[in-house]
Structure 1
Amino acid sequence: MNKFISEKQRFGATTKQVFGSVTHTSFNGVYTMSTVMTVADLLRACSFDLIPQHLKILYKEIQRVASPSRRQGFEDYCYKHLTSSTEISGVIPPVLIGCMSEVETEFSDDPRINDVLVMQPDKNFVVDGVNRLSTIATILGGYDQSLLKKIKESDARLKRRVDLSRLLQELSVQVLFIFRKDKALSEADFSQIFADVNGQATPMSTNKLMKLARTDDVVMFAREISMLPIIRSHGGMSLDGNTVTTKSEFVLTLNSVTRFILGALGGERMQGKVRGVREMSDGAILSQKHLDPIRSDLILFFETWIDYQGENYSQDRTGFQLVATLIQGLGLVFHNLWITYESLAPAERTSLLYQAAKKLGGLDYSRMAPHWADCSCVSLNENGSYIVNTGGSTSRKGFAKHLSNKLGVQYRSR
């Protein structure tokens, strides 16, 4: 049993005492202690404002260090769950801290009583959880921001952050301290452990994230659209697929319908927010209250567009009507019409949207239709067939402009 040292409470003091459960055997000389701490106490138990240069380089080389979108994503995740804005459960993964100092431990003989770890906070550094801790440090304030890329943030976000700061103060999280009992973790030890932990994590594809999502209101709306009788009668929607091919049984993908909804709701800017943070133009987090005003009209618009294509919608497997960027461009068309008609009475607006969808549904979407000659995002190949000649966002916008022109409505980028 190692010598026990009295705790010194203030951050910046030589040592700090932590209670938890220490592994009784080592992993090639390395031990861990599992414990629970408030986030404020955790920030005082590690060095988040005295990070040595070699670790700053390490953080930047191995992972995307606390990018604004990742920080905002975690911030909004915490806000959603701490304010009970969703009934779906969530969790904050454990934070891993490496002790680059000599430590002392005291084991308890009673499994009901915690073990003790005494270490030096100013020589403790984050192994896993840089994004989580940097986000929390930003919200609580008073910590070094040298790792963080600064961006202009909306007034709505700053207002939410005030509320979140109060809620985070006493939030407790799982923490795992990593240390050696015979000596301090060296730079080589820390670098290797950091690489082992972060290098084994495989980023999840957007499609897989969507497939699993249950708190994403847009994705859930896309699932709702996929269950419409007219969609199911033509082959339904794939949760996994990226594109619809000549051999596909389905006619839509979750990715394309999600982007269709995002475009319909917020235009081109919003359509790029398939994953990560989604803020409306006023800075509010996208939620059901933003979807509800357009929900019934958007379903009517999409159903009508498909209905007036008849059997060709699913039988012509090479037509542009099954191309993801055209469907996404159709969402931009809806958004443009919604803004154009926003001053009208709801019933009149719905009628105009229906007439627009009916007219668009009557177009020839085959790849040899002459009207594609006026579409900026396609070109004629040597076989006399039109093909898409631009990237995703440019194609979406090109199709939106072309379809709007067919309606006689000016398309405005917003």
Structure 2
Amino acid sequence: MSKLNLTGRLASRAGKTVKSLVTYLPAIELENYLSVTRVYPDLEVFYDAAKNKTNLKKVIDIQEDIKNELLAGAVGSPLSLTVVLEASPTLITTGKRGNIEYERASTFVVGNVLFLVAILKTLGIKAPLFSSRLSSSEIKKNSIYRQMLAKDEVMVTFVFDDENGLSEDQVREFFFKYNRQHLGLHLTQFSSPDETFPLKPFISKLTKDLNLEGYGGVSTRSKHVKASDSYLTTEYILFKFLVGSVAGPQVQETAMMSKDVTFASGLKVLDVLEDGYIKYIEAFLRGWLQPLENNNKLTRVGFRLSAQIWQALSLVVHQLVIGGASIKDLTQAGLILGELDYNKKATHWHNCKVMGLDSNGRLFKNTASSTREFRNGLAQYFLTLATSNVNT
């Protein structure tokens, strides 16, 4: 990949290797110099939390502000972004001026993310958090404004360490520090990676009681598990598991980690768990994990780590408890489904309505028309397998 070059005003602190360079880019050029849609590793869950009504309203308000500033000459603050360069760029200095050579893929926008979203949405460029597709009427209606914005210059501050580079922990810390100091993204209770959320105590309880650390642990920062990861699952997946087990598929689909999750009746999932429901979930997961105790290689096979698999399993717990299953029944059902072959080549997937072979006829994959249909189809299949061997 070819490298990019930018020149600007260089600033540094005495005795520090971290520097900053301020430059200006036309709004239309941002996507050419920055990885504008990049979600930094282990920050997925926080970006998911940022997809809320408060931030959407902020973006709409920012769009209106910029529009008034450009079309009506209203007074406004300069458009600005703060960007971290993870890898060490090549830096050439001339007095207080600097030139950096860097790779676009190493950039991550940490500051004024909502400004970035507002700019990209207005220009019809793919944006993080919210859709940026423009309708034909919007294209015609805002044509002049978009042309003006495209040429408008955005002040971009690049933060980097040309000697040592910046570690992942430093980048994540800077992300939270910036948004804490500048009141940027509205992340409800997620103002730092260490803060809690309503169902956190029950996720911690599951982690401890089931010794999930012994199976690879639980990620507190990622939303899903990647093939290269070492942990078993994530807090986000366990949150969805708890909600699905207690409240079923509809509530599970719309539930947000940062809020108290309630049924349509107003009853809180938290209260149901506190009343003893957690023991059914623990019983099921204890059975499901049992086959992994003596064969840790199974942990990372096929679909076993998939968030959709975990959520579907939680819906099995929900149906079993509704049907009057006992703690013993839940453990047995978990064991049956834990011993299932989750390999993508496993022939039993033929019996699952939402699974089918890929174009090469070798591996099974999701054939459902939506994530919801896939998850519910898996749950029905798992329930059939579990109940065929469990007397409830």
Q: Identify the TM-score tier after normalising by the shorter chain.
A: 0.3 to 0.5
Report which of the two structures shows the higher radius of gyration computed on alpha carbons. 1
TM-score in terms of structure 1 length: 0.45
TM-score in terms of structure 2 length: 0.48
